[in-house]
Structure 1
Amino acid sequence: MKLKVKEVAELVGISVRTLHYYDQVQLLSPAKTSSSGYRLYAEADLEKLQQILFFKELGFSLKEIKKIITSPSYDVEEALLLQRKMLVEKRKSVEKMIENLDKTMKHKKGEIYMTKEERFEGINFRDNPYEQEARERWGDTPVDEANANLGNKSQEEQDHLAEKWEMYFRKFAELRGKSPDAAEVQEVMREWYDFLNENFTRYSLEAFSGLGQLYVSDERFTKNIDQYGEGLAQFMSEAMQRFAEKKK
């Protein structure tokens, strides 16, 4: 039995927009269509989607996933074994953090004593998945530049940046009922572009457009952005594409 895109979205628990995006970037493009022109997902397509989502959960970028699953040497069974091994390691890491939280609560109650070192057991921010993905997409220089810019700012300046960051997401949330092409939306998008370039790193229009695509292609980003309003990530992504196209 073949399923339409809406049925697959409901089955899997992801958005129709995400499936459309996978089709757009040729990551998952069902070959079959109904007489009405709807995409139809067969069993092989669902198997491929499962692989994509497993890799995404493990922190792989869509670009990496596409390379992996289109490789002539790609073997599904081998991939499943590797994914299981990586998920087990991830589970161990999460269990360590839960254990740390339990100990911390006991420490707060005075039931046990934790040293400074013990408080941070199981917590590792040395490998930032967002930073790694940015390096893969745009190279080391922009990321190093952004880190240096933040490192040179005082705590007060960083707090001010965080406030402005929040302000822009709230602004876009208020505007998301309008067209991404609307003059008012594009004016705020210009401010957002300038804000990122002035305070973090210099984004080319191509990199800015790529950042917008990441907002919808990576569910971690989508989830964080949509906290400000449902559908905000998609709205901002489309507005960023329009901005980049108009400025080229």
Structure 2
Amino acid sequence: MPDTTDAAEGLTVGQVSKRLDVTVRALHHWDETGLARPSLRTAAGYRLYTAADLERLHRVVVYRELGLGLDKIRHVLDDPDSDVTGALRTQRRQVAERIERLQRLGTGLDRMIEAHEGGLPLTLEQQAAIFGPRWDTEGPAEARRRYGDTTQWRQYAERAASRSPEEWQAVTEEVAALDRALADAMDAGVAPGSAEAGRLVERHREVFASYFPLTRQMQVCLARMYESDPGFAAHYDGVRPGLAAWFRRVVDADARAHGIDPDTATWQGES
């Protein structure tokens, strides 16, 4: 049945709660803090709100829904000299700032979802401009199918989601520069196990950190894949014939120098 009690007779806390859609707990709190107290009490000591009390509560609810804090609401209601319009304008600016932050958050969430699901939060046009016309646009999706359940994929997606096209361009240039450095070192006869080879191995780990952290054991597994996987081998041998096999020997020698047996290295191993 609808509540037809006349406010002039006094409304109970429960009746006010239903009428204003405010919790009883909130009404008790406002009473205890003096923000909105009932003016009447029954003989049994129960609170009763008058029509004037109800009007004040209406105002409290309105300002609370606009986002004003209880102290600010008290100031607006009780101080005749309070600048209500100024308080509302300040609140409006703060709301606009929160909306902007939430919009940025929404964009970030969209990019994170796209990175986790698709591997690369870039348009096809951006991918072509950054990675070149020979870029395989299906590559990220294939990587997602192969590695999507791994820790490294999640780490990659977290980095990818926050990276701008310009930052992707910088990563691409770093990778290309590393490829050239590896090819030049092979041409120059840099021997596996040498200090220069060790610096190149460390540089590879640093560059690869753009995707996810790479331990030395994981690097051994990756170099093994560079040589055995037709796609990776074609890339490195396209930079310089024999580069994939040479790089694996360099990585294996560096691993041995750090106490790691390349033949037993595992992807999840610690460096």
Q: TM-score range by the shorter chain?
A: 0.3 to 0.5
Query: What TM-score do the two structures reach when normalised by structure 2?
Result: 0.41
Larger radius of gyration: 2
Larger RCO (CA under 8 A, 6+ residues apart):
1
> Structure 1 length normalisation: TM-score?
0.45
